Structure formats: C-alpha cells, structure tokens
Amino acid sequence: MQNKILILGAYGNFGKRISLSLTKDNYGVIISGRDLQKLGVLKDNIVSQFPNAKIEVAQLDANLELANFLKSNKPVVVINTIGPFQMADYSIAKTCINNQINYIDLSDGRDFVNEFSQLDKLAKESNVTAISGASTVPALSSAVIEHFKDDFSEIELLKFGIAPGQKAERGIATTKAILSYVGKKLKPCSGFSNRYGWQDLYIQEYPEIGARLMANCEIPDLDLFPPKYNIKKIMFSAGMENKAVHLGIWAFSWLVRIGLLLNLPKYASALLKMSNWFDAFGTSDGGMHIIIEGKDKNGAPLTIKWFILAFDGDGPFIPTIPSIILAKKFADGKIAYKGAYPCVGMISLEDYLNELKGFKVKTYSQSNAPFFHS
C-alpha cells in the first residue's frame, strides 16, 4: 500500500471518523492504537461499509513505539488525534519530523498550537511539513474569516463559539480538554483582559436550533487572529445544549476559581457519564457561530453573521475535515511547502463545505439583513 496515512488514536471520537472518510475515498489507511480489540471492531465496521477499503491495523503505543514503526513503515503522513493537547508536549510531532514523516494534529490547545512554530526549523531541516490545529478552530474559523475579510476595511470585533448537541457523541479527550481550564484565569486576549474559563455567560441565538448558553473557552485563535487579521477585540465561547449541564459546569467553574476544586480533569470520566444522563432531554443538533463586526470598504458599519449547523449527530465530523483534506493532499503530493505551521488559512471555506457534502449540515449567513440559507 503506497502513500499510507497513519492515524494515531484511530478508534477515538475523531479518529474513527477520519478513518472512515479516508477509506471511503479509497486512500490507504493504517489505523493504530493500544487496544487491538477496538482496532478490530473499527476495521470490521469500515470493511462492512466499504469491502474494498485499503486498511491495515497496527497495535501501537504512540508514546513508546512510534519511532520504530515509522522507520519500518514510512507512511506519507501521520494524523495525531490523541488528546487532550492542552496537556501534551511535542514528542509525537518531533518523532515524526525526525523520521522525515509529515505530521497533522487536531489540537485546539491555545499554547500547543501557538507555540508549534518552534518546530519550524527542525521540520525544514528534515524536509517535511508539520501542521497543528487542523480542527474546527483555527482551521474552519480562519476559513470563514478568509472568506469574508475582503468585505471589511477593518474588523472591530470577532465573536464566535461552538454549541454541540446534547446527544452528539463526546469523547473523553475533549471532556478533559474543556475541564482543564474551567474556572481558571485565562490568558488575556485582544479587548478582554479579565477572563475565567466557563464564565461570562451569555445567550446566542442560532437559526433552526434556537438559543444556547455560552461561556468562555480557551483556543489558539485568540492569539493567532488579531495580528493576522488586524482584529481589535476577540472573544470565543462554547455551550452545552442542556442548560442544566451548562450551568453545572458553570457552578464547578466557581469552585475551581475560589480554590475548592483543584483538579477538575481528574473527574472527567465521571462527569462525562453524568452529562450523558441528560441526553434524553436534548437533541443531536449543534452549531457554530461567527460574528464579524467592523466597517465596510466605505467606512460604514458592517456586521456579518455566519452559522454552520449539524443535525442528527453529524457535528463531530466537522472537526475532522481539515485533517482529511490535508491528508489527501499529502497522499496526492499536492503540498510542497516545508516547515511547522498552525492551520490558519490553509483550507478554503469552499473546500471545507465540499468535504461535508453528504452530511446533515447547513450554513447560514446574515449581513445587516435577515438570514439567508447558503
């Protein structure tokens, strides 16, 4: 199998979706992880849908055995889905680079993605490309800004966020990532200096799926976007569909903030199970909003609101799209640049939405006017 794509953590929430999408499109995939039984279940599931799937299985502890595996197998690119990246270092990325293998990860960790360029010199010396943040943020968020930026002479405020459906599948890594900053003082960002994780509640209205409670979250865009797009103020938030679950996390944020609860991620498994109890009171429908405020080319006030909505549990596919698009480009020999970069402006909005065709996804836009479906 030539130009194989190695997926680390392949049976996880995002890994299994990436594996399915790539094999569906006839790309050669090696699914890997520490649990051979889970790998077998994933392979059987993929083959049952696509009998001619080009798929191999590798029982592999990426933290201990990756270097030897890369030397003997030489995939064209590695997709790292092993989170939470907020608690990770660059050892896996460095192992890939040192073995002259291209690398992609799905990190949305603020520091992890922002400091990834420290690997740039090493990647160029090894003649490979390493990309961090191939996920909803900053990949999709930057694609939206790239799409609309030419309508603005200046951007005064970027207000955006993600609101998954209560029944949408949630992984333990994502849960730990969120809990890692709940109640903690967050790094300042342009226009907002005093922020705490999962606080500053507000209500965001979405087309079709209604109102969602939102709260502060930590992502790399908060540092990457203001200098790149000359944004004066930026704020990002996330919200749970079920208000009881959302307010429960908010209550925990205060316990962390006043010092009564010091290690919230320790309870991630229990809290994830508890949140699942509320699934009967929610839906599988979620969305993302991006609101850009500023001035148009004539200096007049301009506000553009963009929404992407996912229905019937298809929301978790949205973060996988950047890694799928990039992996295909690596396999097809269409990425020539070398170095280590955050995934900002690398994927067009058109390409992103084309890859989502076939899923239950809609987009809406609003520009100083009523909503229109796009």
Taking all residues of the chain, what is their mean pLDDT, rounded to a whole number? 95
pLDDT digits (tens, 9 = 90+) for 28-39: 999 999 999 999
- pLDDT grade, residue 170 (50/70/90)? confident
Residue 374 has pLDDT above 80, yes or no: no
What are residue 342's phi and psi, to 5 degrees?
-75, 150
Q: Determine which helix (DSSP H) or strand (DSSP E) holds 350, and give its type and residue range.
A: helix 349-355
pLDDT of residue 120: 98
In the block, tokens 């109640």 appear at 183
- Tell the burial category of 191 from Cβ atoms under 10 Å away from its Cβ (0-12, 13-18, 19+): middle
Average pLDDT estimate for 176-200: 94
Are 348 and 146 a contacting pair, CB within 8 Å?
A: yes
Q: What is d(CA 13, CA 252) in angstroms, rounded to the nearest whole number?
A: 25
pLDDT of residue 161: 98
Domains of the chain: 5-136+316-355 (3.40.50.720), 137-314+359-373 (3.30.360.10)
If one compares 218 and 374, the residue with the highest pLDDT of the two is: 218
pLDDT of residue 371: 45
How far is Cα of residue 253 from the mean position of the Cα atoms in its chain?
23
Residue 373 has pLDDT above 50, yes or no: no
pLDDT digits (tens, 9 = 90+) for 84-126: 898 899 999 999 999 999 999 999 999 999 999 999 999 999 9
pLDDT digits (tens, 9 = 90+) for 272-317: 999 999 999 999 999 999 999 999 999 999 999 999 999 999 999 9
Average pLDDT estimate for 134-158: 97
Average pLDDT estimate for 142-146: 98
Predicted TM-score (pTM) of this structure: 0.94
Residue 370 has pLDDT above 60, yes or no: no
Residue 27 has pLDDT above 90, yes or no: yes
If one compares 253 and 170, the residue with the highest pLDDT of the two is: 253
Average pLDDT estimate for 207-212: 96
DSSP string, 48-99: HH-TT--EEEEE--HHHHHHHHHHHH--SEEEE----GGG--SHHHHHHHHT
